[in-house]
Amino acid sequence: MLRLLLILVVTSLTLAVPHERLLAQRSSTSIYKLVDSPVNWYEGKESCEAMGCVLAQPKSEQEYNAIFALLPTSEFYWIGVTDLDHEGRFTYDTDNQDIVYNNWDLEEPDNDNGEEHCVDISFSNTYWYDYNCNLQDDGAVCECPPDGVRGDPHMRTFDSRAYTFQGTGWYILLKDCTNKPRFEVTTKFEPREDSTPDQVRTITTTFNITVGNQYAVVNGLDVTTGSTDGQMTDDKVITIQEEDKNIKLYFTSKDTTFTFNWTLRNHALDVSYNGSFYNGKLCGLMGNADGDTRNDFQKPDGSITKDVNEFGESWKVNDKKRF
Ligand SMILES: *[C@@H]1O[C@H](CO)[C@@H](O)[C@H](O)[C@H]1NC(C)=O
Ligand SMILES: *[C@@H]1O[C@H](CO)[C@@H](O)[C@H](O)[C@H]1NC(C)=O
Ligand SMILES: *[C@@H]1O[C@H](CO)[C@@H](O)[C@H](O)[C@H]1NC(C)=O
């Protein structure tokens, strides 16, 4: 394919794009994140895997549209589709199944020079191209499991750092760390039944979302709402949707809606948000959400530690009044 012309067009566009970008974009089924630095296809795949994700495999127009809500800094990004195994037959990287959706540009895939086996997408025109897997693109689109806490607790920060922490009691999961904090979410971890004194494994049992003076506490499938100062207004800032085995809660602050999806069956609390105001302004066990995975173990005093237990314990809430 002819790249030069497109690149010239995009250079002028990128100047207008603000530096701040969405960290993640969710379709109903997946969360997409960007590797926003030059990589060949194999390096893109490795970078996604380092975040516990895979190269994106959009399987519908809806999923593909979710990718375009990411704001990249350049144009061409790899996805997890190739014909490396069978020339001309494009399959998903993770299961080798034939693709069920595509958005090829006219006359693509063209296997130019017989060397183009990996698919990249253009953020300027949304089309798909085949391209040489060993050449660098501007980045890669990854598809990730939800952020939050699942099971043991297996934690995943907003910047996609996965870790295991087994403290018991109440901890700050995420908090507004601006100088006028407005919200705080705490979770209670309790030992699982199969824990032994030598090996404690914990699960999330209860969590408390507090926004302004209002809170919603979810314990199993019981929801209690109230206010921290006894003053309850008619304006509910936390929206609660109770479904069969799921509870979804959300609230909005500044330009951002925070969404919590609680599934009791696997003690999973998925957390996501969609605005940009709080990028880098959050703190707690889900990290600072500044787009950098390496500095996620930030303690309340702002210092960074490498030790997962030191990090985890630093967010413990010592308040006997809580249940
Ligand atoms: C909530 O999580 C459950 C389990 O992971 C999933 O099946 C469901 O689709 C999610 N709901 C929303 C609204 O994200
Ligand atoms: C975030 O999601 C909410 C609810 O779906 C929506 O009303 C709002 O416009 C979204 N904000 C941004 C910045 O996308
Ligand atoms: C929920 O958390 C808030 C603030 O962190 C606290 O004031 C309130 O007492 C908690 N609610 C319950 C029922 O524990």
Provide the percentage of residues in the chain whose pLDDT is more than 90.
Answer: 65
For 231, counting Cβ atoms within 10 Å of its Cβ (0-12 exposed, 13-18 middle, 19+ buried), the class is exposed
Kindly tell me if the per-residue pLDDT of 146 is higher than 60. Answer: yes
**Poorest-pLDDT segment among 42-46, 118-122, 172-176, 289-293:** 289-293
Tell me what the mean pLDDT of segment 248-269 comes to: 93
- Measured in Å, residue 258 CA sits from the centre of ligand 2 at 9
Q: Are 55 and 47 in contact (CB under 8 A)?
A: no
Kindly tell me if the per-residue pLDDT of 92 is higher than 90. Answer: yes
Mutate-to-test residue for ligand 2 from 238, 253, 257, highest number of ligand atoms within 8 A of CB:
257
Ligand 1 atom closest to the Cα of residue 246 is: 1
- Measured in Å, residue 98 CA sits from the centre of ligand 1 at 26
Name the pLDDT band for 4 (thresholds 50, 70, 90): very low
Q: Is the CB of 257 under 6 A from ligand 2?
A: yes
What integer pLDDT is reported at residue 323 of this predicted model?
Answer: 45
Nearest CA to ligand 3 atom 3: 210
Kindly tell me if the per-residue pLDDT of 297 is higher than 50. Answer: yes
Name the pLDDT band for 29 (thresholds 50, 70, 90): low
Ligand 3 atom closest to the Cα of residue 215 is: 1
What integer pLDDT is reported at residue 195 of this predicted model?
Answer: 81
Q: Are 183 and 210 in contact (CB under 8 A)?
A: yes
Tell me what the mean pLDDT of segment 298-317 comes to: 96
Q: At a CB cut-off of 8 Å and minimum separation 6, what does 104 contact?
A: 127, 128, 129
Q: What is the mean pLDDT of the chain?
A: 87
- Measured in Å, residue 54 CA sits from the centre of ligand 3 at 38
- Measured in Å, residue 269 CA sits from the centre of ligand 1 at 10
Q: Which residues of 157-172 are buried (b: 16+ CB within 10 A; e: fewer)?
A: bbbbbebebbbebbbb
Nearest CA to ligand 3 atom 7: 228
Q: Which residues contact ligand 1 via a Cβ below 6 A?
A: 246, 248, 261, 263, 268, 270
Q: Which residues contact ligand 3 via a Cβ below 6 A?
A: 184, 186, 208, 210, 215, 217, 228, 322
**∠ Cα 299 19 6 (to 5°):** 140
Q: Is the CB of 274 under 6 A from ligand 2?
A: yes
Which ligand minimizes its atom distance to the CA of 250? 2
- Measured in Å, residue 124 CA sits from the centre of ligand 2 at 23
Condensed to tens digits (0 to 9), the pLDDT of residues 55-72 reads: 999 999 999 998 988 878
Nearest CA to ligand 1 atom 5: 263
β-strands 148-150, 139-144 pairing:
unpaired
Name all domains of the chain by residue range, CATH numbers in brackets. Answer: 25-144 (3.10.100.10), 154-314 (3.40.1000)
Name the pLDDT band for 24 (thresholds 50, 70, 90): low
Kindly tell me if the per-residue pLDDT of 168 is higher than 60. Answer: yes
Name the nearest CA neighbour of 323 among 229, 200, 214, 219.
219
Ligand 2 atom closest to the Cα of residue 252 is: 3
Ligand 3 atom closest to the Cα of residue 184 is: 5
Name the pLDDT band for 27 (thresholds 50, 70, 90): low
What integer pLDDT is reported at residue 13 of this predicted model?
Answer: 36
Condensed to tens digits (0 to 9), the pLDDT of residues 191-222 reads: 988 888 788 889 999 999 999 999 999 999 99
* Amino acid in position 12: S
